[in-house]
Amino acid sequence: MLSVRVNLKTRISSGMIRVNAPALKSTMPSVTSLTQLRFSTTVKPAPKLSLDDVNENVLKAKYAVRGRIPMRAEELRDQLKKDPSSLPFSKIISANIGNPQQLDQKPLTFYREVLSLLQHPELLEEADEALQTLYKTDSIKRAKRLLSEVGGSVGAYSQSQGVQGIRETVADFITKRDDGEISYPEDIYLTAGASAAVSYILSILCKGPNTGVLIPIPQYPLYTASLALNNSRPLPYYLREEQNWSTDPEEIEQVVLDAIQKGIKPTCLVVINPGNPTGAILSEQSIQKIFEVAAKYGIVVIADEVYQENVFKGSKFYSMKKVLRNLQKTYHGQYDNIQLASLHSTSKGVSGECGQRGGYMELVGFNHDIRQVFLKLASISLCPVVTGQALVDLMVSPPQPGDESYEQDQQEREDIHDALDERASKLFETFSRLEGIECRKPQGAMYLYPKLDLPYKVIQEAQHLEMEPDEFYCKALLENTGICTVPGSGFGQVPGTYHLRTTFLPPGTEWVETWEKFHKAFFDKYRD
């Protein structure tokens, strides 16, 4: 025993050196407790985990879209359930997150007919009358095709990269979208929404604190959160608010140069187009300039294009893939080193099927061995949900003229577009006439990101409460009206400026009027 105790003592203390203190501090048992307890029958409890025992990268990660304000909203929602009259409002308006169907956007009927049949294939063998009353012929046809693609049941694991036949449909869609620039099924990776794709890309390409990833500011906080989880460095480039949140390629190149000077390797560049939270859409020329920098420094471009269907009248979306192909044709060999990952999702657009977790990623220009790494990583989580994969097929290949579903499907899509257009304008007009709010006209996506010109008294009181001034505004808005938004501090903004992000998804216009009333009262209270 003695010799054992001595061994342990010496080895542990030598071991200590190699161990980072916090990891040991809280629960590493001491030598004496070991030797005491080793053969005792009664158990002396060791302490439980504390935050000291948690991976620092996870602790660092923040995700404001479901952060403090939305969590407060959940508390208030519960309070309303228990005591409906205890608050100055009767319900929570969730304008913090792009979740259309939570806000009563009706799913597209064609999608749901097909998914309903995929979940219950026996129906396809039922007596035609009953089936035909409930499902349209093209829905039945599509369900049969998809069932054979997935091998008979959506309950079986698919290939980790996604069902072959669905990847072919996606490739056809991209080829059409990009005026014949060919897309290949082998380059398509079906994913559980775009978030999963971002997580794959960053965990593969982030090697630690010396890896830098260029992200727009303001940004969708998934990017800073994923970078924190991967212990890598965000390299912010600011969007020019005064020029309708446009991108400045010269600033991007400067950020690249500064990073290299600091010994940080700029590895990826994130582009969100249409922009979240800004609602801006990139011009063709801006995209060309971004590729110029990417080609020059060998930086992977991550194109978050999940809002490509959310484009308002008068604006035009250019896919990065298409612009890249044009550059490659015009300047032979000069852009052939570009590596582009383009992301799409079934959660946005007119689909709005957030809970179904469908999406895809197209990898362009990556070497074979890198794509094999993507495949291996995907295989560790087995496969994306198969009904979500099917939904991607439906999104990229909707009913065509002559199909039984066509007319209704067109009508439903138009109604959703019009409703979004109308709500966006209504909210934009309201902001435009309010004191202390400056808002850019949105071109796409689902959000407005107005600038708050907050009185000094607000900033003072916020500091006193150890809050960001825009968080203070959002909290007041929530607690007085039930309207839940996200402060700009969650997305990033030029220091000293304040913003908030709101969706324009909530139905009706009443909530906008409530907001207007609140805002006036707020400024009357705090005006300098």
Is position 6 an interface residue for a copy of itself (rule: CB under 8 A)?
no
Q: d(Cα 277, Cα 268) in Å, to the nearest integer?
A: 20
State the minimum distance, in angstroms, from the CB of residue 494 to a copy of itself: 25
**Contacting a copy of itself within 272-301 (CB under 8 A):** 292, 295-298, 300
Pick one of 92, 93, 192, 270: the residue that binds a copy of itself (CB under 8 A): 192
* Rounded-to-5 percentages of helix, strand, coil across the chain: 50, 10, 35
The residues near 350 (Cβ < 8 Å, ≥ 6 apart) are 108, 309, 412, 413, 416, 417
Peptide bond into 22 cis (omega under 30): no
Q: d(Cα 457, Cα 88) in Å, to the nearest integer?
A: 24
Question: Would you give the end-to-end CA distance of the chain in angstroms?
Answer: 76
**Contacting a copy of itself within 330-389 (CB under 8 A):** 331, 333-337, 339, 352-357, 365-367, 369-370, 373, 376-377, 379-388
**Contacting a copy of itself within 202-231 (CB under 8 A):** 203-208, 210-211, 222, 225-226, 229-230
State the minimum distance, in angstroms, from the CB of residue 88 to a copy of itself: 23
Sole window of 19-27, 304-312, 423-431, 519-527 interacting with a copy of itself (rule: CB under 8 A): 19-27
The residues near 276 (Cβ < 8 Å, ≥ 6 apart) are 98, 219, 220, 304, 307, 445, 446, 447
Nearest Cα to Cα of residue 264 among 233, 293, 294? 233
Is position 238 an interface residue for a copy of itself (rule: CB under 8 A)?
no
Q: Which two tokens stand for residue 163?
A: 């069902």
Is position 492 an interface residue for a copy of itself (rule: CB under 8 A)?
no
Is position 82 an interface residue for a copy of itself (rule: CB under 8 A)?
no
Pick one of 32, 75, 84, 126: the residue that binds a copy of itself (CB under 8 A): 126
State the minimum distance, in angstroms, from the CB of residue 215 to a copy of itself: 15
**Contacting a copy of itself within 155-184 (CB under 8 A):** 155-160
Pick one of 84, 88, 151, 508: the residue that binds a copy of itself (CB under 8 A): 151
Is position 51 an interface residue for a copy of itself (rule: CB under 8 A)?
yes
Question: Environment class of residue 360 by beta-carbon count within 10 Å: exposed (0-12), middle (13-18) or buried (19+)?
Answer: buried
Toward a copy of itself, which CB reaches closer, 76 or 280?
76
Q: If binding means CB under 8 A, how many residues of this protein chain bind a copy of itself?
A: 140
State the minimum distance, in angstroms, from the CB of residue 490 to a copy of itself: 13
Is position 508 an interface residue for a copy of itself (rule: CB under 8 A)?
no
Task: Find the Cα–Cα–Cα–Cα dihedral 153, 193, 315, 277, rounded to 10°.
Answer: 160
Is position 314 an interface residue for a copy of itself (rule: CB under 8 A)?
no
Kind and range of the H or E run holding 269: strand 265-272
